[in-house]
Structure 1
C-alpha cells in the first residue's frame, strides 16, 4: 500500500506542477509580445512547455482507472459537467469583458474579423479547450472502462483513435448544435476553432488508462509500473520519430492537430518524462512544496478555470501581447498570487456552506 501512495503522490505532483506551469504559460502567451515569445531564451522555453498537454492527459487516464468512482454513470456525469464548465469558462473569459467594456481591440484584430464585436466574442465562447476535450472524452472512455477488461485491447483502442483521426477530420453537419459537437470531436475550424479535438487527443487518455489497468494488475507496484512506462516510452519514440520527421505532413502537421505518428511520438516522450519524475520523487520526503502541489492537483479544474478567466480579464488592464519578458515575469507572480487567492476564497465559502448544512442537519441524520 505504501507503493500505491507513492505512485499517487507522483501523479499529484505532476498535476500540481501543471497548475503552476499553465499560469506561467498562459501569462506569457497573452501578455508577451511576439519578440519576447520567440527571440528570448525564457520566452521560448515557456512556450515550449506549453506542449506538455499529453502529460496531463495520460495522468488523467491513469487516475481514471484507479479512481474510487468506477461507475459508468459517474463518468458520464463528470463528462457532461466538464463540457459545460468549459463553455462557462469561455463565457467568463470573453463575454464579461465585452459586457463591461474592457475588451482590448487588438485581441479581436488578431483574427482579422470585421463582424460586430459582440458576434465575434459569441464565436469565441465556442472555443474547444482542454475542459471540452476532457468532458467529451469521458463520455467515451467511461464505456471503455466499463466493458473492456483487457489492457492490450484498451491500448489498441487508444492507438486506433490516433490512427483514424486524420481520416475523420472535417466531418460536419448543417445543424449548428450537431455541428458544434462534431467540431469538438473531429474538426479544427468549423464553426469554432478547436484547440484539442477529441480525435486524436483522446488517445493520450486511453494510453493512460492502459497503464492504469496495468497498475492494478501489478497490485499497485508503482516502481514496476513506471519502469514499464520507460520501456514503452522508448518503443513509442523509436516508432514515432521516423513517422514525424520523415512523413510529418500526415503524422504531425502542427501540435494541436497531430496525426498518428505525432501521438505515438509525444506519448513516448511523456512516458519517459513520467518515469524521470517518479525516479526523482519516489524516495523524497513530503515537504511544504509537495503539499502545495498536492493542493493544486486536488483543485486542478477550478484553478484552471480561475487562472484563465483572470488572465483574460487582465487584457483590458495590461494590454494584449505588448510587453517584454521582464514585465511579463512580474505579471506571472501576480497571477499566481491571484489564482491561489481566489481558490482559497472558494475553499472558505465551501467550508462555511458545509458547516451551515451540518448545523441544520439533525444529529440522528449525520450518523
Structure 2
C-alpha cells in the first residue's frame, strides 16, 4: 500500500499528463486550420484527446474527498478564489490583446459583433471555462461532503444532476446579472457562452467524490479502488451507450451540453481509462519523467492559466487558425517551453511557497482539483 496519506499516487501522474495534454490540445485548437484539425490523423487524434475533460473532473472529486482541507468554509473560500482566477484569466487572455491591438481580425470577426466595444469586452471576460465550473462546484460540493456521509447518497446526487440536466437546460430569469448566473448553471448562451455549465458537468465531480469516499472506506487501498472503478465504468457504459446512440438528441446533443445518457456514458469510459492508467503507472518507477508529471500536478491551476494566456497572446504573432499540422507541432513545442519557463519564474518569485489562489485548489496532496 502507498505510504502517501489519503493520497492516490496515480492521480498525480494522471493530472500531470493532463497539463501536457492541454497545451497540445489548446495550441491545435487556436492555431491549426480547419483541414489540419479534421482531415489529418494527428489533428483528429488531438481533437479526440480534447474530450477528456471528464477525467480531470472525476479526479477533482476524488482529491476533494481525500484532501486534508475538509471544512465547509475552506471549500467556499477556494471556490471564490477559483472564480476570481477564472475571470482574471479571461481578462488576460482576451482584453489585454484587444486593448493593445494585437488580437487578429479574423478572431474578432468570428463573433460577428455589432454592439459597443464595452459590451464585447464584457462578453469575453464572462466566457465560461473549466475554472468557472470548478469554482462554482466548490461552493456546492462542500455542502455535500459536509452533510452527506453515505457514498451511495453522494452518487445519487451526482446522477440526479445528470438526469435533470436536459430538463433545466436553457432556464432563464430575465434580469441582467441573474441571466449570467443562470448561464453558468444552465447555459442559455446569454449574455456569454458557457462551455461547461454546472448542469450537467458537476455530475462528474460528484461521481469522483463517490470514489473518494469509497477510497477512504477501503483504508486507502488504491488497487481495490481502481478495480471498483473498472466495474462501475463497465456498468455505466452499458447503460449509457444505448441512450447516447439510440436517443442522441436528448442524451448527447453535443459534447459541451450533453444530457443524462452522455454523462453516464462518458463517466463510464473515463473510469475504465483511469483503471488502465493506474495499471500502467503502478509499474512505473520514479524517474525524471514521473517527477515532471508530479511537478505539473502540483502546479496544475497556474500552468492551466499560463498556457491559455500565452497561447491567446500568440494569436497576434502567429495568427488564428491558419497553420498546417507541421507548423502547429512546432508551436506546441514552443508553448511547452514557454509554459514551463513562466512557471519556473513564478516559482522563483514566490520562493517555492504555494500561492493559495493558484495552487491549493487543485493539488492532489493539498486539496481539490485536476
Pick the TM interval, shorter chain.
over 0.9
Match of 1:160 in 2: 160
Q: CA deviation at 1:110?
A: 1.6
3-state SS in 2 of match to 1:2: coil
Q: 1:306-359: per-residue Cα shift (whole Å, max 9, x none)?
A: 0000000000000000010000100000001000000000010001889xxxxx
Cα deviation, residue 173, structure 1? 2.2
Partners of 1:199 and 1:3 lie apart in 2 by 37
Which residue number corresponds to residue 237 of structure 1? 237
The alpha-carbon deviation at position 48 of structure 1 amounts to: 0.7
Structure with the higher helix share, 1 or 2: 1
Task: Tell me if 1:268 matches 2:268.
Answer: yes
Tell me which residue corresponds to 2:46: 46
The answer to whether 1:223 aligns with 2:223 is yes
- State how far apart, in whole Å, the 2-side matches of 1:182 and 1:244 are: 26
Which residue is equivalent to 2:61? 61
After superposition, give the CA deviation of every residue in 1:213-264 in whole Å (9 maximum; x if it has no partner): 0000000111000000000000000000000000000000000000000000
**Root mean square deviation, CA, Å:** 1.5
- Shift in Å at residue 118 of structure 1? 4.8
- Correspondence for 1:11: 11
User: 1:109 offset after TM fit, Å?
Assistant: 1.4
**Residues 288-319 of structure 1 deviation map (CA, whole Å, 9 limit, x = unaligned):** 10010000000000000000000000000000
1:114 aligns with 2:114: yes
Tell me whether 1:327 sits opposite 2:302 in the alignment: no
The alignment partner of 1:138 has SS state of helix
The farther-off stretch of 128-137 and 111-120 is 111-120
Q: Residues 353, 219 of structure 1: CA spacing in aligned structure 2 closer, same or farther, 3 A cutoff?
A: closer
CA contact (8 A) 2:6 2:220 kept: no
Q: C-alpha displacement at 1:3, in angstroms?
A: 6.3
What are structure 1's unaligned runs of at least 5 residues?
Answer: 355-367
Residues 19-34 of structure 1: matches in 2 within 5 Å?
A: 19-34=19-34
Q: Deviations over 1:170-221 (max 9, x none)?
A: 1222322222111101114111000000000000000000000000000011
1:251 maps to 251
In structure 2, the partner of 1:336 is 336
Task: Say if 1:116 and 1:7 are closer, same or farther in 2 by CA, change over 3 A.
Answer: same
For residues 331 and 26 of structure 1, what CA distance do their matches in structure 2 show?
11
| Structure 2: gaps of 5 or more residues | 355-370
Distance 1:150 1:176 in 2: 39
Aligned pair in 2 of structure 1 residues 176, 319: CA closer, same or farther (>3 Å)? Answer: same
The residue number in structure 1 matching 2:171 is: 171
Deviations 1:56-104 (A, max 9, x none): 0000000000000000001000111111111110010000011111111
Alpha carbons of structure 1 residues 352 and 11: separation in structure 2 relative to 1, 3 Å: closer
The answer on whether the counterparts of 2:7 and 2:66 sit within 8 Å (CA) in structure 1 is: no
Structure with max Cα Rg = 1
